Structure 1
Amino acid sequence: MELTWIAVFLCLGGVTGFAAGLFGIGGGGIMVPILALIFVALGVDDGDVMHMALGTSMAAIIPTAVASLRAHNRRNAVHWKAVSALAPGALVGTFAGTFLATWLPSEPLAVFFAVFMSYVAVQMILNRKPQPSRQLPGPWGMTSVGTGIGGISALVAIGGGTMTVPFLTWCNVRLQTAIGTSAAVGLPIACAGAFGYFVNGLPVRGLPEYTVGYIFWPAVLAIAAVSVLTAPLGARLAHKLPVSTLKKLFALLLIGLAIQMLRTVLG
């Protein structure tokens, strides 16, 4: 493994960790398009590029999510009842989604990623206000939402923040608390997703050295080494910025990621 690529992974970890803390996302939205670009440059077979990017991203999200969760929890910005209600469905949905993702070719996954991210960005820019009376749904409703978030997260290798944050704010949860809660929900999603891609990639031959399943471990270790340091910095800033500014930054991030993914995979 060339030192140049290690340096790239370290830089990616710094950016990913900061964004994870700032927006409550796992960081997969940033990692997947960049990892896909790197794996293409490393000569990975076209049919395996997206699956390796997805699996590696999910594994790298785990330590990032832990660091982000701890930082937000210190500021009492985690809605633990919502976490416990969403997590079971998210686990099941994420693990099941990895099997669908590994069956699909790279191009449809890239298009799905871009369309979904763009949709969420538009919703954030429009800044539609929820009805004042709207609250979180009951146990079955939360489980269903968690399953949906987990399934989509597996398809695009995100910690769920791009869905969890808008959903919670739609239910009148304060934005900073929604971000902290999303970071907590992202941890079980990342664990289930990483395990799913690990299992699905084991039979595949011809992957790069140091790859186990669909997880490229040099990238995971380098990204995690820096992301755990920068995630608390992002969380600190999230509690200082105005809500309107946070929403605009979130939307711009998603649009940029969607464009980069299409450019990388569809070329």
Structure 2
Amino acid sequence: MSLLFLGYILTGLCAGLLSGLLGLGGGIVIVPALIALFSMQSFPHEHLMHIATGTSLATILITSFMTTWVQSKRKAVQWSVLKWLIPGTVLGALCGTVIGNYLPGHLLKTTFAFFCLLLGGKMLLGRAQLIAKPERKLPLALAVLFAWLIGTCAGLLGIGGGVLVIPFLLWYGLEMPAVSATSAASTLPTATSGALTAMVVGWHISGLPSGSLGYVYWPAALCIGLASLIAAPMGVLLVHRLPVLLVKRIFGGILLIVAWTMMPSF
């Protein structure tokens, strides 16, 4: 049990650092870590991915709240972007979580791995943007549609949406510190809706571990979330000091590592 507790603490510290540094909710490391830890606890195999994604979304509530609070004090959060980003991602997270309940866990795991592989390659191979791009002008309906697609993927994969929001906001034209801050803020309502839905759709499932509420295993969620509170402010400090290209390379490298660990064929 002490080894599992240490695993939850280390996962929370990594998630908090990534949340502050990159604006990720932390699900990109929380989900694979939980799959490994839950396997050690002999959780039901057929529900392993669903419990991992639901618990991840619940954990991201705590992590993203701390990051958003620290970033808002630095006035880095772009609230004008969040006005159209949040409604789409919240609705998408609801849809994605419900859809995921009817999909096999191995399919979700494979999809998660390929998302990480593609986005990681793009971050590592992309060139530095030396001149800031002007913000793109998108029709409101199209912007909300993009946000809905991001939220749907977030609900399916239990990642809070930051891993998809970051490339989108970079393409949209925001600078990296603003991208990190705005992404973190956007994951908060997305994770909230996704976690609540995970609890509801898993409510009637029998054989779930003690301490679960639907597909959310709260002992792990609280332990990881509290540990992330320590590391999130450190990540925020780093993103405002490190070179943009280095931050992108860190992001890409993490994505490729996670993709490798999650690929079923490896």
Following superposition, the deviation at residue 126 of structure 1 comes to 2.7
Gaps of 5+ in 2: none
Contact 1:19 1:27 in 2 (8 A): yes
Contact 1:136 1:168 in 2 (8 A): no
- Determine the C-alpha separation between the residues in 2 that align with 1:191 and 1:21: 18
- Determine the C-alpha separation between the residues in 2 that align with 1:109 and 1:40: 17
Q: What does residue 8 of structure 2 align with? A: 9
Following superposition, the deviation at residue 29 of structure 1 comes to 0.7
- Determine the C-alpha separation between the residues in 1 that align with 2:110 and 2:132: 32
- Determine the C-alpha separation between the residues in 1 that align with 2:133 and 2:28: 31
- Determine the C-alpha separation between the residues in 1 that align with 2:137 and 2:204: 42
Q: Secondary structure at the match of 1:104?
A: coil
Is 1:160 aligned to residue 161 of structure 2? yes
- Determine the C-alpha separation between the residues in 2 that align with 1:216 and 1:3: 17
- Determine the C-alpha separation between the residues in 2 that align with 1:110 and 1:262: 8
Following superposition, the deviation at residue 4 of structure 1 comes to 2.9
Following superposition, the deviation at residue 190 of structure 1 comes to 0.4
- Alpha-carbon displacement from aligned partner over 1:98-151 (angstroms, at most 9, x marks no partner): 011111111111110011111111221232559945614232122111101100
- Alpha-carbon displacement from aligned partner over 1:36-87 (angstroms, at most 9, x marks no partner): 1111111112110000000000000001000011111122211101111110
- Determine the C-alpha separation between the residues in 1 that align with 2:3 and 2:250: 30
- Determine the C-alpha separation between the residues in 1 that align with 2:238 and 2:140: 32
Q: Give the TM-score of the pair, scaled to structure 1.
A: 0.94
Contact 2:133 2:174 in 1 (8 A): no
Amino acid across the alignment from 1:10:
I
Contact 1:6 1:218 in 2 (8 A): no
Q: What does residue 89 of structure 1 align with? A: 88
Is 1:65 aligned to residue 64 of structure 2? yes
Within a 5 Å distance, the mapping from 1:42-191 to structure 2 comes to 42-127=41-126, 132=133, 135-191=136-192
- Alpha-carbon displacement from aligned partner over 1:177-231 (angstroms, at most 9, x marks no partner): 0110000000011001101111111111111111110011110111111111211
- Determine the C-alpha separation between the residues in 1 that align with 2:44 and 2:166: 35
Q: Secondary structure at the match of 1:78?
A: coil
Contact 2:77 2:181 in 1 (8 A): yes
Q: What does residue 238 of structure 2 align with? A: 237
Is 1:252 aligned to residue 261 of structure 2? no
Segments of 4+ moved more than 4 angstroms? 128-134
Following superposition, the deviation at residue 6 of structure 1 comes to 2.0
Amino acid across the alignment from 1:75:
R
Amino acid across the alignment from 2:122:
Q
Following superposition, the deviation at residue 172 of structure 1 comes to 1.3
Cα RMSD between the aligned structures? 1.6
Gaps of 5+ in 1: none
Q: Structure 1 residues 133, 68: closer, same or farther in 2, change over 3 A?
A: closer
- Determine the C-alpha separation between the residues in 2 that align with 1:221 and 1:132: 40
Q: What does residue 32 of structure 2 align with? A: 33
